[in-house]
Amino acid sequence: MIVFKFLFSLFFIALLSFQIDTYAQDSSRLRISLLTCTPGDELYSIFGHSAIRVIDSNSVTDIVYNYGTFNFDDEGFYLKFIRGKLLYYISITSFEDFKYTYQVTNRGITEQVLNLTGVEKMMFRAALNENLKEENKFYKYDFFLDNCTTRLRDLIIQGKKPTPNLPAVMPVNTPFRQAIYQYLDKGKQYWSKLGIDILLGRPTDAIMTTSQQQFLPDNLMKALDSTKNTPIVLSSTNLYPIDNPNNKGSWFTPMVFFTSLLFVFLLLSISKNKNVQWILAGLDGLLFFLTGSLGILLIFMMTATDHSMTKNNFNILWAWPTHLIISFFINSNKKWVRIYFIITVISLLLLLMAWFFLPQQMNHALIPFVLLLIYRSAMKYFNYR
């Protein structure tokens, strides 16, 4: 029995030594890997996440470097976020804490061990630690062009020689908007998709280059696995299994809501009851007030923010800022008010005719809403006549 225990101990030590050697088979004693986290249920996590794991066998440390950190307590947080001026920064945490965060939210982690030489590993870690310095840690986050995944992609490309040629992992001529649609549709985030389609303008429909495809964590992971000229991945492992969520979504989609809203206005307009007509007039004012307010928000996002993808937004063709003004004259019989409503009818009818041919992808759930604006504008014009 003693001999058996002794042999078992020797086997265990040998196995442990072998595992440590696989972590770092060079003098650096480092093992560097890319962690790709699966999407979560909330909008902020629906596209997944990337981080870098560094295991140091000399100091017996296991650290994760995360470029996706921001401070909720930052002064003026919400205004900076809306204006695209919020600074993200790199932070570090233990791998166990990082893993636990994703386990409790039922999100998996795939680890790709990077094929780096000892010198490349040391330089890679040195670059990460240099970025940790207070004067270097902050950067202006751009979801599509400069995020926690693209930062890691750049480090990997710069740190490996010869430079890896990461291939395309999505079909040619895929625009940014379609790339994020696959996550929003899979997660049944229909309302989030509507909000994104309203706020993001024409640049979101630009065709992605090969490197731009890698703004999504899954795309970077696939690109590293598919690199041919310089193999960059030694091994790929799913660190723990997850339960596939049964996300059925809700029947209360934007299309259902706006179609129902259109029918509510139709039913109310049929009634001759004075109280109902009074309510309808109030709803008309609210309808144009909210639409005009949205138009002002779109102008603000296009002109007064640093967001690259909110420029040239074609939603301004139906969300006119002037609707805010007309909402205060909703029951006026003045000539200029009638002219405004007939111009609205004609313009929005032309917009619907061009809806599927615009250079920007418009959310189809907005069609009933635009029809509602046309209907109420027409009713105001013809009732006054």
The first and second tokens of residue 133, run together, are 């310095």
**Residue partners of 127: CB distance under 8 A and separation at least 6:** 155, 158, 159
Sheet holding 87-94, edge to edge: 138-140, 87-94, 61-69, 49-56, 30-37, 109-114, 233-238
Q: What is the pLDDT of residue 107?
A: 93
> For 73-112, what is each residue's pLDDT tens digit?
777 777 777 788 889 999 999 999 999 999 998 999 999 9
User: Is the same domain home to 228 and 266?
Assistant: no
Q: What is the pLDDT of residue 385?
A: 52
Q: What is the pLDDT of residue 182?
A: 95
Q: What is the number of domains present in the chain?
A: 2
User: Is the same domain home to 80 and 148?
Assistant: yes
User: Is the same domain home to 266 and 291?
Assistant: yes
Q: Is residue 112 part of a domain?
A: yes
Q: Is residue 153 part of a domain?
A: yes
pLDDT score of 283 more than 60 = yes
User: Is the same domain home to 227 and 296?
Assistant: no
Q: What is the pLDDT of residue 246?
A: 60
> For 308-342, what is each residue's pLDDT tens digit?
999 999 999 999 999 999 999 998 989 999 999 99
Give the residue numbers spanning the domain of 307.
254-384
User: Is the same domain home to 224 and 294?
Assistant: no
Q: Is residue 19 part of a domain?
A: no
User: Is the same domain home to 220 and 275?
Assistant: no
Q: Is residue 286 part of a domain?
A: yes
User: Is the same domain home to 143 and 280?
Assistant: no
User: Is the same domain home to 213 and 261?
Assistant: no
Is the model more confident about 155 or about 230? Answer: 155
Sign of the dihedral through C-alpha 300, 304, 308, 314: positive
> For 3-19, what is each residue's pLDDT tens digit?
444 444 444 444 444 44
Q: Is residue 316 part of a domain?
A: yes
* pLDDT band at 27; cut points 50, 70, 90: confident
The first and second tokens of residue 80, run together, are 């900076």
User: Is the same domain home to 166 and 59?
Assistant: yes
User: Is the same domain home to 226 and 305?
Assistant: no
User: Is the same domain home to 361 and 291?
Assistant: yes
The first and second tokens of residue 31, run together, are 């093992």
Q: Is residue 264 part of a domain?
A: yes
User: Is the same domain home to 214 and 302?
Assistant: no
What pTM, to 2 d.p., does this model score?
0.88
